[in-house]
Amino acid sequence: MSTDLPPVSILGAGRVGANLARAFAERGHAVTVGHRTPSTGALAWQGPPVRHATLAEAAAASPVVFHATPGHTALDLLTSLRVPLRDKVLVDVSNATVRQPNGAPGDLLYPDGSLAQRLQAALPETRVVKALNTMFFSVMTAPRSLATPAQAFLSAEDPAAKAQVRALLASLGWPDEWILDLSGIASARATEAMILMAPHIVAAKGFKPFALTVASTAGA
């Protein structure tokens, strides 16, 4: 494992978290996966070696922490991890919606703002970056898997935090020109609202990888 690559923590081990953990570990990063029940999670894990820990231990283990738990419970969960998340970069890839009975996303949970904005307000000593929340989970770690170039949007107040996340996205195979900086954390309100398109895209095209992107003229 290369010592030049920064360690990464992942909070959550569902489809999104496991996909991110697997990809970072395969590329040589030291990865800590945070679970509610780490011993059970370790037994169920199938993939390259990673460290399995509690959510608090994982939040403390790395300078950059990816949040991949359900968005509708994220604010309470991450606020409870305020101390281990202090001085960390928190990359929020979730979307906070009111869940429908079938589990599909419904209305936005925070229609007057965004989860990312609420997290930054609740965690002032943590640098929150919104990213990777406008795509099917598998595209997060395989951006070239689609017929059309994907796009990753970044929203955050801290330029240095965004630079760290850009470098980690490059490790996952994202070309720099496919990453679009939307400026401050308030812009996350727009990208989080894009989740409302997801059920309609799935209904129209089936449950398969997709990403929302911006088309521009050649060379722009």
95-126 pLDDT, tens digit per residue, is: 999 977 776 777 999 999 999 999 999 999 99
Can you give the pLDDT at residue 47? 86
Query: pTM score > 0.85 for this model?
Result: yes
153-191 pLDDT, tens digit per residue, is: 999 999 999 999 999 999 999 999 999 999 999 999 999
Q: How far is CA 46 from the centre of its chain?
A: 21
Phi-psi category of 87—alpha, beta or left, where left has phi over 0 and alpha has psi -120 to 50? left
pLDDT exceeds cutoff 70 at 131? yes
60-97 pLDDT, tens digit per residue, is: 999 999 999 999 999 999 999 999 999 999 999 999 99
The whole-chain average pLDDT of the chain stands at: 93
pLDDT exceeds cutoff 80 at 210? yes
